[in-house]
Amino acid sequence: MKGVSTIHRMGGGLLLLVILLTPFIMLWLGKPFWLDIFTRLVILAIAASSLSLLLSVAGLASFGHAAYIGLGAYAVGIPVYYETYGGAPWLASYSGWWHLLLGVSVCALFALVTGAISLRTKGVHFIMITMAFSQMILYLLVGLEEFGGDDGLSVDLRSDFSLPDLSLPSAESFGFPSLNLPSLNLPPVNLPPVSLPPVSLEEPWVFYLVCFALLLLVLFIVSKVKHSHFGRVLQAARQNEQRVRALGINPYRYRLLVFVVAGVFAGLSGFLFANYAYFVSPSMVEWTRSGELMFMVILGGVSSLLGPVVGASVFVLLEHFLSRLTVFWHLPFGLLLLMVVLFGRGGIIGMLKRDSQQ
């Protein structure tokens, strides 16, 4: 068994490495657009991982997870809109720190309130209620005419993470070109133009690496949560709630906390999405998006840490290839979903595990 789990760990590391490097290799092969696809893949993997924290650890099938993506995205869109076109000075800003703070607090608050209500129920009720609350956010965003309503809002530039006080002056302002020191009669030193590498999210490669680093961070926290006391209580409550209660632990507060954490992570992916697409719209919150997220988690396999990453990868790549083949690509997609649910127990990782254990 130990050997098998080492293989899995190595396989997981390999998978992440492949995801990290593929766009660079593709660039080398002259296909730079793969960076775009993989950025989307990584962002969706973050969202799917946050959902799997709810689903696989706590056993909470939230079908309204897209709401948090929307909230996180609008927490970028609205401040940038105000900063660009004026209005609401307390909200307006290009600062990424502010966008993150806003997105995280709004998502946490929304998760706290809706979680407090929906966690009072179980099973189908819970599924439908989370769905209904996300629909509420959808209609709220559609109702916000100022921010484009149905049509959404374009985000003019990516969140700015430079700290104004610490920002390094450019090489020119240090006066590097005047270094030829003519008084010493030395031949002029032709310094190459020195400039700092542009650490800005506007740079697609930097943005991709930031997304990837955040994915690693989320995966790390999810795995820590899974093996913590907190995570064990959640898993125990998922398997047998009565026993946990008999031990004097009320799972409600644990579930509420994990609901908030998952909401914040999904909000983080929404923050990245707004920056990725330069666009936010209510369609990000449609329940079918939540359904797709759920599909990624199930497709990859619920029981494993990297299941959602596998699911998101397969989802994004399939979508890419199928939609190039035909406009009717939802048909094979729907069939695949049906097949996975009816026949593929444990998702892709589950199938791989079964193979390696035989």
CB nearer to another protein: pick between 277 and 336: 336
Shortest Å distance, C-beta 25 to another protein? 32
CB nearer to another protein: pick between 37 and 336: 336
Residues lying near another protein in the complex (CB under 8 A) are found at 55, 61, 63, 114, 117-118, 120-121, 123-125, 127-129, 131-133, 135-136, 139-140, 142-146, 286-288, 291, 294-295, 298, 327-328, 330-331, 333-338, 340-342
Pairing mode, if any, of strands 153-154 and 279-280? antiparallel
- Contact between 301 and 349 under an 8 Å Cβ cutoff? The reply is yes
CB nearer to another protein: pick between 265 and 287: 287
User: Which residue from 221, 212, 216, 214 is spatially nearest to 57, judged by alpha carbons?
Assistant: 221
Helix (H, G, I), strand (E, B) or coil at 186: coil
Instruction: Report how far Cα 45 is from the mean position of its chain's Cα atoms.
Output: 6
Shortest Å distance, C-beta 349 to another protein? 17
Shortest Å distance, C-beta 274 to another protein? 20
- Contact between 69 and 284 under an 8 Å Cβ cutoff? The reply is yes
> What is the C-alpha separation between 339 and 314, in angstroms, rounded?
15
Shortest Å distance, C-beta 265 to another protein? 20
Shortest Å distance, C-beta 302 to another protein? 9
> What is the C-alpha separation between 309 and 42, in angstroms, rounded?
8
Helix (H, G, I), strand (E, B) or coil at 290: helix
CB nearer to another protein: pick between 51 and 104: 51
Q: Given the structure tokens 């990516």, which residue do they identify?
A: 158
Shortest Å distance, C-beta 290 to another protein? 10
CB nearer to another protein: pick between 6 and 121: 121
Kindly give, in sequence order, each residue whose CB lies less than 8 Å from that of residue 229, ignoring residues fewer than 6 positions away.
none
CB nearer to another protein: pick between 63 and 98: 63
